[in-house]
């Protein structure tokens, strides 16, 4: 691995380095205490995980954790259920593999999402991996950027089939050809406000200047926004352009600074974004990888270890799925046997659920079991809707926004609401888990306006 993240300072949880609480950003050096023990988020540079490392991480989770791993929407691996006594050996082992930064602060800002098929997809104009790695290293090493808010994110996309057009972030670098990337601020590709172009080798410098500009500009406001979209909404794009113009090249003809969503399909050379949860498989151009997703992005360490035996390299994605690079011929059959989702038509992809009772001390219901029961019993409904969300409480960690059907748990029962956020007023209140599943399975099309 080419990460330049250094790994020297052992910082297990201690009074000076307290565990993170829910709502902040966990890491290896800032484990978060949740219902099933400590959760450790492993940031993998460029999302490229050698199979040998995946096997060793799976072994760590099996030995020291509760044997479960989550795939996050930011393309990270999260080890779950690690007791306090397991933090030091897990941290040491991850450090030996190069996945631990100098300290929790420099680790927390390494939120770089890289297009998962970089270097594999012949339709992509650029291999984004070197750019993502350089950006990751700059964020870790540039102390001035360590004041960025914990969830502040970056994205590097080389385009092609597995592009990240629909992934939202704070700063985007989207390739327009093999040498240049479009720099835009806040949101998905359609939402983000373009600033200009930069050369691939200058992305880290541009990011450094942008991070400083963000910190300076937000400090001028009485209530400093924590995300780029909020800051751009407050101050506009011109202050950024004034600071960044020496580093940027002009946008292509017809595309103007500050005008959202122009030339998107020309840039990406495709008509449709990938499926939001899973790339289509089986076509010739996808033979370089096999996409395997897991319900709610959760898999066992045993499954990760078995998948590692089917490939030499795994790529992490923001779709709660893994790409197995040039997999063994039997990979699809073996992944299916491990419970993986292999097709976008799988109804389990319509379900979103937080950890609930089994992984969060606030949860009072087994959200995953409820969601899987809905997948079994509510097929016709799932064919009509975009998302059914089973939330362990009104906070809605897995999906704070509205879903077509939202089940919100409270004190062991569910309230079922339609086209609503978690905790919204519901028409079916206080249902036992079994009754809630039956309620959802029995919803009529007329009850789903807009679904
Ligand atoms: S939404 Fe789920 S994970 Fe978040 S606090 Fe509530 S029960 Fe816990």
**Structure confidence at residue 190 (pLDDT):** 86
Phi, psi of 350 (to 5 degrees): -80, -10
**3-state SS class at 407:** strand
Residue ranges per structural domain of the chain: 107-267, 348-447
Q: Strand 112-114's sheet: what is its strand order?
A: 112-114, 154-157, 169-175, 180-187, 193-199
Instruction: Give the DSSP per-residue string, 89-134.
Output: HHHHHHHHTT---SSHHHHHT--EEE-TTTTT-TT-SS--HHHHHH
CB of 394 closer than 6 angstroms to any ligand 1 atom:
no
Are 314 and 324 contacting, i.e. CB atoms less than 8 angstroms apart?
Answer: yes
Write out pLDDT tens, residues 262-277: 555 555 544 444 554 4
Write out pLDDT tens, residues 112-139: 999 999 999 888 899 999 999 999 999 9
Q: Whose CA is nearest to atom 2 of ligand 1?
A: 392
**Structure confidence at residue 276 (pLDDT):** 44
Q: Which two tokens stand for residue 141?
A: 């090493």
CB of 35 closer than 6 angstroms to any ligand 1 atom:
no
Give the separation between CA 294 and CA 278, rounded to whole angstroms: 10
CB of 356 closer than 6 angstroms to any ligand 1 atom:
yes
Give the separation between CA 341 and CA 349, rounded to whole angstroms: 8
Give the separation between CA 433 and CA 95, rounded to whole angstroms: 42
CB of 355 closer than 6 angstroms to any ligand 1 atom:
yes
Ligand 1 pocket test target in 397, 410, 413, 422 with most atoms within 8 Å of CB: 397
Q: What is the CA radius of gyration of the chain?
A: 22
C-beta neighbour count of 156 within 10 angstroms: 31
* Cα torsion 287, 289, 293, 299: sign: positive
Write out pLDDT tens, residues 291-318: 999 999 999 999 999 999 999 999 999 9
User: Where on the phi/psi map is residue 197: left (φ > 0), alpha (ψ -120 to 50), or beta?
Assistant: beta
**Structure confidence at residue 238 (pLDDT):** 94
**Structure confidence at residue 3 (pLDDT):** 39
Give the separation between CA 162 and CA 131, rounded to whole angstroms: 17
Q: Whose CA is nearest to atom 4 of ligand 1?
A: 397
Question: Can you name the CATH fold of 107-267?
Answer: Sulfite Reductase Hemoprotein; domain 1 (3.30.413)
Q: Does domain 348-447 have CATH number 3.30.413.10?
A: yes
Give the separation between CA 101 and CA 108, rounded to whole angstroms: 9
Q: Hey, which residues does 249 pair with through a beta bridge?
A: 197
Write out pLDDT tens, residues 5-41: 333 333 444 433 545 544 568 999 999 999 899 999 9
Q: Which two tokens stand for residue 24?
A: 């902040």
Low-confidence ranges of the chain (pLDDT < 70): 1-24, 257-286, 449-451
Which is the closest atom of ligand 1 to the Cα of 361?
Answer: 8
Who contacts 224 (Cβ-Cβ below 8 Å, separation ≥6)? 218
Ligand 1 pocket test target in 33, 34, 362, 398 with most atoms within 8 Å of CB: 362
Whether 348-447 and 107-267 are alike in CATH topology: the answer is yes
pTM attached to this predicted model: 0.89
Q: Hey, which residues does 405 pair with through a beta bridge?
A: 388, 418
């Amino acid at each position: 691995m080419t990460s330049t993240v250094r790994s020297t300072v052992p910082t297990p949880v201690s009074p000076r380095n307290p565990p993170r609480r829910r709502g902040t950003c966990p890491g290896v050096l800032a484990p978060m205490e949740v219902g099933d023990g400590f959760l450790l988020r492993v940031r993998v540079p460029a999302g490229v995980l050698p199979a040998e490392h995946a096997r060793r991480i799976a072994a760590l989770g099996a030995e020291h954790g509760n044997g479960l791993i989550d795939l996050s929407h930011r393309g990270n691996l999260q080890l779950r259920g690690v007791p306090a006594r397991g933090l030091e050996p897990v941290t040491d082992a991850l450090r030996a593999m190069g996945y631990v930064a100098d300290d929790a602060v420099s680790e927390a800002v390494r939120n770089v999402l890289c297009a998962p098929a970089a270097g594999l997809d012949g339709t992509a104009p650029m291999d984004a991996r070197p750019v993502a790695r350089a950006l990751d290293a700059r964020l870790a090493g540039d102390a001035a950027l360590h004041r960025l808010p914990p969830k502040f994110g970056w994205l590097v996309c080389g385009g092609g089939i597995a592009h990240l057009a629909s992934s939202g972030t704070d700063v985007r670098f989207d390739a327009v050809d093999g040498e240049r990337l479009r720099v835009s601020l806040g949101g998905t590709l359609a939402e983000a406000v373009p600033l200009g172009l930069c050369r691939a080798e200058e992305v880290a410098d541009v990011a450094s200047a942008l991070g400083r500009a963000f910190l300076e500009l937000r400090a001028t406001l009485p209530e400093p926004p924590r995300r780029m979209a909020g800051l751009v909404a407050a101050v506009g794009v011109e202050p950024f352009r004034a600071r960044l113009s020496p580093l940027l090249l002009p946008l292509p003809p017809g595309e103007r600074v500050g005008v959202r969503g122009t030339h998107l399909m020309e840039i990406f050379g495709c008509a449709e974004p990938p499926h939001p949860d899973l790339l289509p498989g089986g076509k010739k151009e996808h033979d370089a990888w096999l996409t395997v997703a897991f319900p709610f992005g959760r898999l066992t360490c045993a499954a990760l270890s078995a998948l590692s035996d089917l490939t030499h390299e795994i790529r992490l994605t923001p779709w709660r799925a893994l790409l197995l690079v040039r997999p063994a011929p039997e990979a699809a059959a073996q992944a299916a046997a491990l419970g993986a989702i292999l097709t976008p038509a799988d109804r389990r992809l319509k379900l979103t659920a937080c950890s609930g009772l089994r992984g969060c001390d606030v949860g009072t219901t087994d959200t995953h079991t409820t969601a899987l029961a809905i997948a079994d019993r509510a097929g016709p409904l799932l064919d009509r809707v975009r998302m059914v969300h089973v939330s362990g409480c009104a906070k809605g960690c897995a999906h704070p926004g509205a879903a077509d059907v939202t089940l919100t748990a409270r004190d062991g029962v569910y309230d079922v609401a339609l086209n609503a956020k978690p905790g919204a007023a519901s028409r079916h209140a206080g249902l036992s888990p079994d009754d809630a599943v039956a309620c959802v399975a029995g919803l009529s099309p007329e009850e789903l306006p807009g679904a």
